[in-house]
Chains A and B, each alone.
Chain A
Amino acid sequence: MSAVSTPTIPGPRPLARRIGNVVRLHLANPFTIIGTPVIVLGLIFAVNWMIWWIVRTAAPSDPQSVADVADGLQYSGATLWIFVYMMVVAIMAMNLTFSFALGFGSTRRDFLLGSGLTFVGLAAIYAVAYILLAALETWTGGWGVGGTMFNSFYFGVDSPWWLRLFHVFALFLFFLAAGSAFGSMYVRWKARGLIVFFSVVSILIMGAVALVTVSDSWPAVGEFFEVAGFTGSYALSLVLSAIAGAAAYLILRRATPRN
């Protein structure tokens, strides 16, 4: 056989460009990440607004009752679905978008870096929008009817806006990171992998609960979160998000887009 030569090929395009391409891939159809959430949020808002209106007209209008209602409403979980939706977005991204990106010549590493960047960006944008809506809510006196959707207890009503921004951001990021981890488990090990994972997690949680109960440590656990406070707890979630992200990275590094 004659001597074999290899044609030289140009170097790869810069990393930033490749990662940017992956970001664009995730955002290719803006409807998924902006359209759908806005529409569903709008519907939930409309339903909630009617409930607030009914409550407001039905409830006695003395100051004590109004305060009670407001106090009850701040435990509203009306916006929780949007965090769950983000988890679904992340799961889909890891599964289908991963296959597509590899089909278009992205490396797994570039895909994961681009996805991470996208998710951090999405969490930031969503958090800002969330806090802006919360401000609007306050400014309009609860959308004119004393309602509460965004000034939720869970993000610390008494905290300054920038701390609440951090809380919301951390929670978005957590759901996106968890979704990424679940999605990558699915790609690598299919349903069986998820079943095994959740079984193990359930056993661990039950074990932990049993351990805490047996050792009479619930007060200590409560104390921990009390000391940590909202901000500390959310900061702790960042650690979990980082672990989930790292897991997604390690899992997808050896995954293949298969049917």
Chain B
Amino acid sequence: MTAIVDVQDVTKHFGSVAAVDGVSFRLEEGKIYGLLGRNGAGKTTLMSLLTGQEFATAGDIRIFGESPVENARVAEQICFIKESQKYPDDFKVKHVLRMAPRFFPNWDQSFADQLVAEFRVPLDRKMKKLSRGQFSAVGVIVGLASRAPLTFFDEPYLGLDAVARQLFYDRLLADYAEHPRTVVLSTHLIDEVSALLEHVLVIDEGRLLVDSPADELMGSATTVVGGRDAVESFVGGREVIHRDGIGGLLSLTVAGLTAAERATAKAAGLELGPVSLQQLIVRLTAGSTTDFTENAPTTPIPEEARA
């Protein structure tokens, strides 16, 4: 395993608020990661820490084996497309795109030109006069054309319409296939990107809830629906991720059922439903999560499952 990001027990306090709270994980080279969680969960702060824009209160961060703080060598390998990125007041789109090749060593100008045409970004308009979608598109263009070995997209498609979002996914996949690199996609819109992700990190209230390969995570939970007693007796002492009930009906979301257990459930007349990544994360991070987080292992899927 080649870890290009190694985070050990990192904490970031803003006053008395812990925006990131004792987080540890590694990112391996050449994968697309999803950094998922609700708004305000700490995603942007975490990425700001990884890119040296913020200073950690405690803990250790290694990017390419080095601290990212005030490290030009590391910074040149990174592209961080921040949803709230500020631009100089007088900057037009063309100024941003003219500066990018100076700062990103792997910049591909013809790819950038192609993307500008495809996203229909007005080069001569001032950044602060752009619509939210056009503003996001500029970030997407810089993020893709920079081909940085470690690229962060923070809510990259706010305001982008369906066509532009699809274009983003297509170009990201195609370019990633040709020029493998590590990409971190941070978003709270999970359904659209879930198939793009190889590995998923879920953060909630500053803490890491999930650090797991996406496909294992997607198959990891099942919703069991049926009569209250039947569902309760089937689920037994199993860990319940989410609980919903109306009258005599009960719907419980549980982790990892084996094929035999599924058959038992079906024989007992229970309905088994799939749980999408989005549903799973909504359930993990919804208000009722406090019960869950207390006994949830940070990594529900064993590492040795990976080749």
Check if A and B associate. yes
Residues on A close to B: CB < 8 A? 1-13, 18, 21, 24-25, 28-29, 31-32, 92-93, 96-97, 99-100, 102-110, 254, 256-257, 259
Asked if B169 is at the interface (CB within 8 A of a chain A CB), the reply is no
Contact A24–B90 (Cβ < 8 Å): no
Residue of A nearest to B303 (CB): A1
Hey, which chain B residues are within 8 Å of A4, CB to CB?
1-3, 6, 26
A4-B1, A105-B104 are known; give 8 further A-B pairs, CB within 8 A.
Answer: A4-B26, A9-B64, A97-B88, A100-B87, A104-B99, A254-B55, A256-B48, A256-B55
Asked if B76 is at the interface (CB within 8 A of a chain A CB), the reply is yes
Contact A2–B1 (Cβ < 8 Å): yes
Q: Work out how many contacts link A and B, with CB atoms closer than 8 A.
A: 113
Q: Can you list 25 A-B contacts with CB-CB less than 8 angstroms, sorted by A residue number?
A: A2-B1, A5-B1, A5-B3, A7-B2, A9-B64, A9-B73, A9-B77, A13-B76, A21-B102, A24-B102, A25-B99, A28-B95, A31-B90, A96-B88, A96-B89, A99-B85, A100-B87, A102-B53, A103-B82, A105-B75, A105-B78, A107-B71, A107-B72, A256-B54, A259-B84
Hey, which chain B residues are within 8 Å of A109, CB to CB?
70
Residue of B nearest to A21 (CB): B102
Hey, which chain B residues are within 8 Å of A103, CB to CB?
53, 80, 82, 85-86
* Distance to closest chain A CB from B139 (angstroms): 9
In the bound complex, CA of A10 to CA of B55 (Å)? 24
Residue of B nearest to A5 (CB): B2
* Distance to closest chain A CB from B26 (angstroms): 7
- Among B54, B55, B91, B102, the one with the most A-chain Cβ atoms within 10 Å of its Cβ is B102
Contact B103–A99 (Cβ < 8 Å): no
Asked if B79 is at the interface (CB within 8 A of a chain A CB), the reply is yes
Contact B3–A6 (Cβ < 8 Å): yes
Hey, which chain B residues are within 8 Å of A2, CB to CB?
1
Hey, which chain B residues are within 8 Å of A257, CB to CB?
53, 86
* Distance to closest chain B CB from A27 (angstroms): 10
The verdict on A256 contacting B4 (CB below 8 Å), with A96-B87, A96-B88, A100-B88 known, is no
* Distance to closest chain B CB from A188 (angstroms): 12
Residue of B nearest to A101 (CB): B103
Chain B contacts with A in 43-99, Cβ cutoff 8 A:
48, 52-55, 62, 64-65, 70-80, 82, 84-92, 95, 98-99
Of A7, A11, A25, A32, which one neighbours B4 at CB under 8 angstroms? A7
Contact B4–A100 (Cβ < 8 Å): no
Contact B2–A9 (Cβ < 8 Å): no
* Distance to closest chain B CB from A209 (angstroms): 37
Contact A107–B102 (Cβ < 8 Å): no
Encode B2-27 as 1/0 by CB contact (under 8 A) with A: 11101000000000000000000010
In the bound complex, CA of A97 to CA of B99 (Å)? 12
Number of B residues with CB within 8 Å of any CB on chain A: 46
Contact A29–B73 (Cβ < 8 Å): no
Asked if B29 is at the interface (CB within 8 A of a chain A CB), the reply is yes
In the bound complex, CA of A74 to CA of B263 (Å)? 98
Hey, which chain B residues are within 8 Å of A92, CB to CB?
88-89
The verdict on A105 contacting B65 (CB below 8 Å), with A7-B4, A28-B98, A256-B55 known, is no
- Among A6, A8, A13, A97, the one with the most B-chain Cβ atoms within 10 Å of its Cβ is A6
Hey, which chain B residues are within 8 Å of A256, CB to CB?
48, 53-55
Hey, which chain A residues are within 8 Å of B90, CB to CB?
29, 31-32
Asked if B105 is at the interface (CB within 8 A of a chain A CB), the reply is yes
In the bound complex, CA of A9 to CA of B70 (Å)? 16
Hey, which chain B residues are within 8 Å of A110, CB to CB?
72
Contact A24–B4 (Cβ < 8 Å): no
In the bound complex, CA of A6 to CA of B72 (Å)? 18
Asked if B100 is at the interface (CB within 8 A of a chain A CB), the reply is yes
Asked if B149 is at the interface (CB within 8 A of a chain A CB), the reply is yes
Contact B88–A24 (Cβ < 8 Å): no
In the bound complex, CA of A99 to CA of B82 (Å)? 11
Hey, which chain A residues are within 8 Å of B4, CB to CB?
6-7
Hey, which chain A residues are within 8 Å of B76, CB to CB?
10, 12-13, 105
Residue of A nearest to B71 (CB): A107
Residue of A nearest to B150 (CB): A9
In the bound complex, CA of A103 to CA of B100 (Å)? 10
In the bound complex, CA of A244 to CA of B87 (Å)? 25
Hey, which chain A residues are within 8 Å of B84, CB to CB?
259
Hey, which chain A residues are within 8 Å of B55, CB to CB?
254, 256
Chain B contacts with A in 87-127, Cβ cutoff 8 A:
87-92, 95, 98-100, 102-105
Q: 10 tightest A-B contacts by CB? A: A6-B65, A12-B72, A99-B86, A105-B75, A104-B103, A12-B73, A32-B90, A28-B95, A29-B90, A21-B102
The verdict on A29 contacting B72 (CB below 8 Å), with A24-B102, A256-B48 known, is no
Hey, which chain A residues are within 8 Å of B103, CB to CB?
21, 104-106
Contact A28–B99 (Cβ < 8 Å): yes
In the bound complex, CA of A86 to CA of B87 (Å)? 19
In the bound complex, CA of A25 to CA of B62 (Å)? 28
* Distance to closest chain B CB from A174 (angstroms): 23
Hey, which chain A residues are within 8 Å of B77, CB to CB?
9
- Among A4, A9, A110, A257, the one with the most B-chain Cβ atoms within 10 Å of its Cβ is A9
